[in-house]
A = this chain, B = another copy of it.
Amino acid sequence: MLPIAVDAMGGDNAPAEIVVGARLAVDEGTPVLLVGRSEEMGDTGDIPILEASEVIAMDAEPGSSVRRMKDSSLVRAAEAVRDGTASAMVSAGNTGATMASALLRMGRIKGVSRPAIATLLPAPGTTPTVLLDAGANSECSPDWLVQFGQMGAVFATDRLGIREPRVALLSIGEEPGKGNPLVKEAYEALEAVELAQGVFIGNVEGRDLLTDAVDVVVTDGFTGNVTLKTLEGSMKTLITALFASMSDRPEALEAADVLAPEFDALYRQFHPDTYGGAILLGVRGVCIISHGSTGATAMKNAIGIAAEMVEAEVVDHLTTAVGSAD
């Protein structure tokens, strides 16, 4: 396999933790190409490096940065995929700039109106739920949502092994007439179309996201991003409140100690790093977008997922599915 291009300069813990994560991935057998300023990377072992002199800041304006900073690690990583020197790109840096780099350098899959960010939500006791769009397009048309459903189903199969993924629209009631105008129109469009993969099951509500009710949840990027951040925030708040509530009684603290393995497993299950990052679906290459707070282990996981998606040929499957839906 061609190496995974890793943006060594992106993320709150770059480059140190990113490089450690890359080394862990290499140790597990995944080839990596580190992209960025080699003099800042520290000990990279035997990992090949693609030099890039510029770094797009976490809070920089995405579009103009990507256009202006042609020698940035993000742009160079995307070009490596385009040029066939890397098989995928991974970044924990500026999300908007990662999307823009992938879109401008790799280009869209033929027939795809807009790429979308797909993310995995934990559903205890069953496969995770795919949520898309998690933030690429803050305003969407009904047709785009139909494509998101199609792309999400392909991803659910390749990533999670779900053969016939159940695709639903995120709405405020299960009945067909419930929702805003976008959802109502998308509902009709999804009912009218035959998905190349997966089956449309109607609307679901926010409370269904972490359950077995659905495999792929489709929404616009504004609602999707608000939902994702709400989930992350609520999990953090609840877990923090749980630990805080135990510190008032010595017996409670002792009991909490006994329960450490259970708490730890729970924390890991609901932590955003668990699944290694989101994926940008609809561009001509695998592009993994990791959380800004990504540490070494999460980066290792993200690189592993990137390799897995390359081997699963998800881009080919998306091309076929979206092409056949036209």
- Where the two chains meet, the residues of A that have a C-beta atom closer than 8 Å to any C-beta of B are 123-125, 135, 138-139, 170-172, 179-181, 183, 205-211, 219-223, 225-242, 244-246, 249, 251-252, 254-256, 258-259, 261-262, 265-266, 269-270
Do A259 and B265 touch across chains, with their CB atoms under 8 A apart? Answer: no
| Apart from A180-B220, A219-B226: 7 A-B pairs, beta carbons within 8 A | A124-B237, A139-B181, A207-B230, A223-B223, A246-B262, A251-B258, A255-B258
Do B226 and A242 touch across chains, with their CB atoms under 8 A apart? Answer: no
Other-chain contact of A234, B170, B210, B259 (Cβ < 8 Å): B210
A172 to B227, CA, bound (A): 10
Chain B residues near A239 (CB-CB < 8 A): 238
Q: How many copies of this chain does the complex contain?
A: 2
Shortest C-beta distance, A119 to chain B (Å), equals 13
Shortest C-beta distance, A293 to chain B (Å), equals 12
Other-chain contact of A241, B183, B251, B269 (Cβ < 8 Å): B269
Chain B residues near A221 (CB-CB < 8 A): 172
Do A206 and B222 touch across chains, with their CB atoms under 8 A apart? Answer: no
Chain B residues near A262 (CB-CB < 8 A): 242, 245-246, 249, 252
Chain B residues near A181 (CB-CB < 8 A): 139
Chain B residues near A222 (CB-CB < 8 A): 171-172, 179-180, 183, 223
A124 to B243, CA, bound (A): 12
Do A172 and B207 touch across chains, with their CB atoms under 8 A apart? Answer: no
Chain B residues near A235 (CB-CB < 8 A): 234, 238
Chain B residue at minimum C-beta to C-beta distance from A134: B172
Chain B residue at minimum C-beta to C-beta distance from A264: B245
Chain B residue at minimum C-beta to C-beta distance from A224: B172
Do B210 and A244 touch across chains, with their CB atoms under 8 A apart? Answer: no
Chain B residues near A135 (CB-CB < 8 A): 172
Do A124 and B234 touch across chains, with their CB atoms under 8 A apart? Answer: no
